[in-house]
A = this chain, B = another copy of it.
């Protein structure tokens, strides 16, 4: 392995000067800079990130925290989209991404400990379950964080305008003539609660009564299976809704399955609208009408915020991105 000492030796300068060149110090003459750069090239020198981190206390690494227990994790398009967007900007700003789990060195540990051991500069948190004590511990630490789909006074946060999304969905259904509008919720999650709130708010604004039988909670991990179960429940209601707003596309897909299994049709018998606009839903029959959230942009923004904090920004930031109604075929006009 070639080190700055090797470069120092062959150029005749000191290691310090060599180091200065690689750190863009101004007080190096153009001539020596050139010479050092040249021989570094010739020798095939590559800096050692660990050594650098040891002295500077900066690792240029960002930890990625996401849901493991559910197994949905990385496989869920929401997560994947956010990470994709996040990676794009963090990479261009010089940071690499590392997965942080509760496992480290093959032993169980907390997220916070894992982060400290690895010396990450900051962490992006994409956890649906915000009651996890290890997550809470992280929140109370002074590690730079950005939280997705979460609210916090101490850490920066970013999320889609879930309430507006819920309202958008209900209003659209109302415009189509629907009055009996049910909701399949995203369980005990921030996004789920906001979407439910949007639903409730819109129903009230429209003067539509909410039948308690028409509000069913799906599971926090937004699986198709959970949507199916919720819809089966809904189909047992004394009065059937004519439309349902599902808090996630997977839930909506599950709901469509349940409807079909029951011998009913979407949208002829029941209209369904989802939330997310994951890629697959436009290929369903009927293609799913849904509320689109821009996961890629969410990831971009999250990275901006986190890097701002990492690089000394004091302000706790928060941002909300607009959502959009995407009309396809799963909702019919009454």
* CB neighbours of A91 from chain B (8 A): 99, 101, 103, 106
Interface size counted on chain A using CB atoms at 8 A: 49
In the complex, A176 has a CB within 8 A of chain B:
no
Determine the distance from Cα of A94 to Cα of B114 in the docked complex, in whole angstroms.
11
* CB neighbours of A119 from chain B (8 A): 48-50
Determine the distance from Cα of A74 to Cα of B256 in the docked complex, in whole angstroms.
27
Given the contacts A46-B113, A54-B50, A94-B104, A83 and B74 also touching, CB distance less than 8 Å: yes
In the complex, A311 has a CB within 8 A of chain B:
no
Q: How many copies of this chain does one complex carry?
A: 2
Near B by CB (< 8 A), chain A positions 58-99 give 59-61, 71, 73-75, 77, 80-81, 83-84, 87, 91-94, 96-99
Main secondary structure of the interface of A (DSSP, over half): helix
* CB neighbours of A118 from chain B (8 A): 49, 96
Name 16 extra pairs, CB < 8 A, besides A51-B54, A61-B98, A253-B283. Answer: A46-B113, A48-B119, A49-B117, A50-B53, A73-B84, A75-B77, A87-B99, A87-B101, A91-B106, A97-B98, A97-B99, A98-B98, A224-B283, A280-B280, A280-B283, A284-B285
Q: Which residues of A are at the interface with B, using a C-beta cutoff of 8 A?
A: 46-51, 53-54, 59-61, 71, 73-75, 77, 80-81, 83-84, 87, 91-94, 96-101, 103-106, 113, 116-119, 224, 253, 256-257, 279-280, 283-285
